[in-house]
Structure 1
């Protein structure tokens, strides 16, 4: 059995208990050994094909106004990464409306996760996803939902506190289901979203609504989007997907239906594939499927029973 998702184990110790202690963040930032990820407009500063983990001496003497500074965690043992075990990682999320910083090292560029993650290590991937999630939350939760007052950061960036009513607010994660649909003949049903290219197919996903279980949401979403009824579900795994703030709950869903009816709102088309048919279509360039760091790809390959080869893969 293949692993259901990439990098299932946590490689960053978030120091959840310690980061709330007085002076914790000041101690981390005063250490010469900590490293900084820089984010702006949903993109991370890169050094070639990996995130740029900057030494503190590279940063400006004064933190740019409006920068969100968050503790990400301590690098764990045995990760095969350029950063030594025990290195503290810190996020600098620059304001979206600020100019691109002129203090970044030569050759540094900003990039989005989907464009660069294919060569990431576990540390790269988890630091990027975690930074993206908390940066998104801070950007959209500057004010107290109770009284409208401007909130202030606390707990090393993992809580916002209202100075007026004393309420505490924590990063939000929205649960979503994602399902690989398998028919009685063991073929998989993949869908083409209206926002994608015509030849891109993947699993079906949707958000869990209030008062709804993940399983109920899966059955509802599949019926709504591709018109088939699931008679059973097997939970496989989950993946944090902070675009903007989701936790994807992955299922293998089984149906006796043989005809799919796309809703023509979110889904343009749906197509059944046998294993050999899907592999041949991908190799021929007839069909594109999700990239290898996504839970959608992991679910498809879980059904397939191994890695699906793409054009250009090394033999």
Structure 2
């Protein structure tokens, strides 16, 4: 029987995609052109990690365009579902000046309105942090996929071997150098994120120097070359707060395309409890019992990561139920 520690409380909100990624179709240029010409095909426009969304009552949906209405830009095949092909296009969001985000005034998007304030049916630009937890499974999956591809493409215009400008191929999943024919694939950076508990079942929370006081989360760090995930958990905790941990146990993963991470969630047991934070990475670190965390949340002394993050799910799994209040 699974214990509460072995099963996350609540879904990982950026790991809910339902689209068949249709990898076998990416290299079929004729199919890609037919799909783009199909009136049923839908396009998600993404610009610097944002897309257009609409609120309808309690639901939020991504704005999906026909290919005729989509602006010009790099195309990425996201997949197929129920016979409908879905693409992303990296381009300025329709109806809005470059660099602005917001609502709509006199039929034109402005930079003053948030998703929460937007009237029903009105298109509003939003990123994954704002809309990821509100979108349905299909749209959340489409957006996280599109954001990840866009982030990679914007930093890989040129061949790392010879500096020649690369070309987009395979439905946006490869860049090819026309000079030396080298192929370059989207990069994913694995990172471990871990909830550490001590012998008294207290949870360790910390904040980075760049965060305001009260904004706390669990520890995390990138996996180094030639390192196991479990080894990364043990090393990162020792480096960041100076304690030894054991028995890392994997609970789940979700993409975190800011810009290209894959977060791998763990619980681990503290063998020591005297904290010596690395000042360059950790501004403060504290142990919390469940009662102490509840009191700190109620008073506003502590704010937790948003529900869209795996950090929040790990904290709530340790706590035993969903918690209120976030960044």
Task: State TM-score, norm by structure 2.
Answer: 0.84
Q: Among 49, 64, 70, which residue is 1:53 paired with?
A: 64
Q: How many residues align?
A: 295
Distance apart, 1:99 and its partner CA: 4.9
Give 1:62-73 correspondences, 5 Å limit: 63=72, 67-73=73-79
Structure 2 residues not aligned, in runs of 5+:
109-121
Structure 1 position 279 matched with structure 2 position 277: no
Structure 1 position 32 matched with structure 2 position 39: yes
**What is the DSSP-based 3-state SS (H/G/I as helix, E as strand, rest coil) of the residue aligned with 1:92?**
strand
Q: Among 137, 140, 144, which residue is 2:155 paired with?
A: 140
User: Deviations for 1:254-273, whole angstroms, at most 9, x for unmatched residues?
Assistant: 11212212111111001111
Alpha carbons of 1:89 and 1:290: their partners in 2 closer, same or farther (altered >3 Å)? same
Distance apart, 1:189 and its partner CA: 0.4
User: Deviations for 1:276-297, whole angstroms, at most 9, x for unmatched residues?
Assistant: 2212322332210111111101
**What corresponds to 2:281 in structure 1?**
266
Alpha carbons of 1:293 and 1:86: their partners in 2 closer, same or farther (altered >3 Å)? farther
**What corresponds to 2:84 in structure 1?**
87
Query: Partners of 2:266 and 2:99 in 1: how far apart?
Result: 42
User: Deviations for 1:74-100, whole angstroms, at most 9, x for unmatched residues?
Assistant: 23xxxxxxxxx443211111279x953
**What is the DSSP-based 3-state SS (H/G/I as helix, E as strand, rest coil) of the residue aligned with 2:283?**
strand
CA RMSD for the aligned pairs? 2.3
Task: State TM-score, norm by structure 1.
Answer: 0.87
Give 1:178-257 correspondences, 5 Å limit: 178-257=193-272
Query: Partners of 2:309 and 2:283 in 1: how far apart?
Result: 21
Q: Among 98, 101, 113, which residue is 1:100 paired with?
A: 98
Alpha carbons of 1:124 and 1:276: their partners in 2 closer, same or farther (altered >3 Å)? farther
Greater Cα shift, 172-181 or 280-289? 280-289
Is the Cα contact below 8 Å between 1:237 and 1:249 reproduced in 2? yes
Give 1:121-160 correspondences, 5 Å limit: 121-160=136-175
Structure 1 position 305 matched with structure 2 position 320: yes
Is the Cα contact below 8 Å between 1:204 and 1:222 reproduced in 2? yes
Query: Partners of 1:126 and 1:133 in 2: how far apart?
Result: 11
Structure 1 residues not aligned, in runs of 5+:
76-84
**What corresponds to 1:78 in structure 2?**
none
User: Deviations for 1:28-73, whole angstroms, at most 9, x for unmatched residues?
Assistant: 110111111111122222234432112234335xx2xxx2110111
Is the Cα contact below 8 Å between 1:24 and 1:156 reproduced in 2? no
**What is the DSSP-based 3-state SS (H/G/I as helix, E as strand, rest coil) of the residue aligned with 1:120?**
coil
